[in-house]
Amino acid sequence: MSNLISLPIVLPLLAGIIVAFLANNKPLVRRVAQTLAVINLIVTGFILYQVYQNGTIVLETGGWMAPYGIILVGDMLAVTLAFTTNIIAVACVFYASKSLTDQQESFYFYSFFFLLITGVSGAFITGDIFNLFVFFEVLLMASYGLIVLGNGKAQLRESMKYVLINVFSSMLFVTTVAFLYSVVGTLNMAHIAQRVQEVEQQGVLTTIGILLFFVFATKAAVFPLYYWLPRSYSVPNPVVSALFGALLTKVGIYSILRMFTLIFAWEADLTHTLFIYLAAFTMIFGVIGALSTNNIKLIMAYNIIPAVGFMMMGIGIFTETSISGTVYYLIHDMIIKGAFFLLIGVIAYVAGTSDLRKMNGLIHHYPILGWFFFIATLVLAGIPPFSGFIGKLLLIQGGLAQEQIFIVIAALVSSLLILFSMIRIFIQGFWGEKTELAHPERKQAAHKMTWPIGILLSLSVLLGVGAEWFYPSVEWIGEYLMNPQIYIDSVLKE
C-alpha cells in the first residue's frame, strides 16, 4: 500500500521513456503523451484521496528503516502540490500540440516535459535532503533541455545564464548538505529536525539554514536573487514558460516552507524576520519590473516575483493563519500562473508580436480570449471572490495579528500595482478600434489553444468561490506544518 507514493515519480519517468521512442511519429506521440498525462493525474488524485482518508503515507525504499534508508513521505502538503503539478501538466500537454513547432516537438519535448514532472513531484515527495538535491537536478536538467528547445538566438543567450546560475546554486546546495551532515550526522529530514531540536538550533545550524535559504531563494527568485528569472523565463516557447512559471519557482518556495517549518524553526526571531523584509522587497521590486516594460511576456515573467514575495510573507510571519495563507496562495499561484503564461502565449501568437505598443482591438476578434484574460487578471490581483483573494486575506490577517504593518502595506500596494500592470495589457491589447488582424489564419489554432486555459481558470475560480470546501484542509495543513513533531513521528515511528 505504501508503494503507492512512488507512483507520482515512477509514472512520469516511464512516460518520458515511452514517448522518447515515439518522437518521430507526431500524431501518435501527442496522443500517447496526452493519455499518459491524464493517467498520471488520475493516479495522483487517487493518492491524494488516500492520504486525505488515511493520513501520511511513508515509503521506506528497499525496506531500510527510516533514518538509514532513503524514504518518500507523502503528507497532505506534498501530495496536494504533486496533484496540482499534474493538473498544470495536463493543461500544458493539451496546449503544447498546438503551440509547438514541428521541430520542437520532434526534438523530444514530451520526454523533457515528463522528466520535469518527475523532478517536481520527486522534490515534493522526498523525505531525504540529499534526494531533494538529486530531484532538483532532475528537474533542472529537464528544464535546461526545455529552455534551449527552439534554438533561437535570444534563447541560447539567456539559457547560458540560466544554466550557470543554477549550476552555481546546486553546488552550493551540495556544500551545504555536507555542512549539515557534518554537524548533525544524518540526511533524513525528520531525523535532522529531531537532532536540531535536541541541540536547540545553535548558531552554526542557523548559518547552515541561511545558506540553504540562499540556495532555495535562488530557485524561488526571492529578492535580491531574482535577476536571472525574467529574461530566461520569457524567451522559450509559451508552454515551456508556463511550466517554468507554474512549477519551478514553487519548488523553491516549497523547500523553504519545508526547511523553515520543520528543521530551522527555532530561531524565528532571526531568520523569519529576515524573510519578512526580503518578502516586502521581493514584492515591490518585482512589480516595478512588471511596470517597466512593454513586452507582454516579460511583464508576465516579472509578475512571478511579487507572488513569491506573498508566499515568503506567510513563511516570515510564521503563524498558523499565515502558513495556511502561504499554502493556499501556493496552490492558487501554480494554477493561475500556468493559465496566465498560456494566455500570454495565445495573445502573442494571434497578434504576431509580444510588443504591447503594436497590439490593438483584439477583443473584437477574440472575445473569449479577452474575457479569459480579464478574469485571470482579477484572480491574479486578488479581487474577491476569486482564489487570489482568499490567500491574500489569510496572509494579511496573519500579518495584522502579528502587527507587521510594514509588510501588510507592501502587500496591498503591490497587489494594486499587479492589477495595474495586467490591466495595461488588457486596455492596450484588447480595447480600441476594430482593426485588421495581423494573422487571420491563426484563428482556428488559437481557439484550440484557449480551452486548456479555460480548465485552469475554472479551477482557480472554483478554488475561490468554493473556498469553504478547500479551506478546512488548507487550515489543517497550516496547523500540521506548525507542529513538526507530527512529521517527525510519522517518519521515525517512535
Partner 1 sequence: MEIIMAVLAGILFTTAVYNLLQKQMLRIIIGTALLSHGAHLFILTMGELKRGKPPILSEGVEQYTDPLPQALILTSIVISFGITSLLLVLAYRASKKNGTDNMEQLRGNDYE
Write each residue from 17 to 46 as x if it is in contact with partner 1 (CB under 8 A), else as -, in one continuous string: ------------------------------
Reading the block at residue 389, the C-alpha cell is: 483573494
Of the residues 52, 168, 431, 451, which one makes contact with partner 1 according to CB under 8 A: 168
Q: Which of residues 180-199 bind partner 1 (CB under 8 A)?
A: 181-182, 187
Of the residues 130, 277, 281, 374, which one makes contact with partner 1 according to CB under 8 A: 130
At its nearest, how many Å lie between partner 1 and the CB of residue 268? 27
- Does position 151 interact with partner 1 (CB under 8 A)? The reply is yes
- Does position 167 interact with partner 1 (CB under 8 A)? The reply is yes
Distance CA 271, CA 273 (A): 6
Distance CA 432, CA 441 (A): 21
Stretch that binds partner 1, among 26-34, 57-65, 165-173, 192-200 (CB under 8 A): 165-173
Q: Which of residues 271-310 bind partner 1 (CB under 8 A)?
A: 295, 298
- Does position 65 interact with partner 1 (CB under 8 A)? The reply is no
- Does position 144 interact with partner 1 (CB under 8 A)? The reply is yes
Residue 124 buriedness (CB in 10 A; 0-12 / 13-18 / 19+): buried
Stretch that binds partner 1, among 34-42, 130-138, 398-406, 459-467 (CB under 8 A): 130-138
- Does position 406 interact with partner 1 (CB under 8 A)? The reply is no
- Does position 267 interact with partner 1 (CB under 8 A)? The reply is no
At its nearest, how many Å lie between partner 1 and the CB of residue 182? 4
- Of the pair 67, 388, the CB lying nearest partner 1 is at 67
Contact predicate 290/356, CB 8 Å: no
At its nearest, how many Å lie between partner 1 and the CB of residue 177? 7
Of the residues 174, 199, 270, 427, which one makes contact with partner 1 according to CB under 8 A: 174
Q: Which of 381, 481, 486, 476 is nearest to 424 (CA)?
A: 381
Q: Which of 112, 118, 94, 120 is nearest to 38 (CA)?
A: 94
Contact predicate 229/166, CB 8 Å: no
- Does position 179 interact with partner 1 (CB under 8 A)? The reply is yes
At its nearest, how many Å lie between partner 1 and the CB of residue 131? 9
At its nearest, how many Å lie between partner 1 and the CB of residue 171? 5
Residues in binding contact with partner 1, number by CB under 8 A:
32
Stretch that binds partner 1, among 147-155, 245-253, 451-459, 464-472 (CB under 8 A): 147-155
Distance CA 361, CA 426 (A): 10
Of the residues 39, 42, 154, 401, which one makes contact with partner 1 according to CB under 8 A: 154
164 CB neighbour count, 10 Å cutoff: 11
Stretch that binds partner 1, among 179-187, 219-227, 241-249, 365-373 (CB under 8 A): 179-187
Chain residues in the site for partner 1 (CB under 8 A): 130, 134, 137, 141, 144, 148, 151-154, 156-160, 163-164, 167-168, 170-171, 174-175, 177-179, 181-182, 187, 231, 295, 298
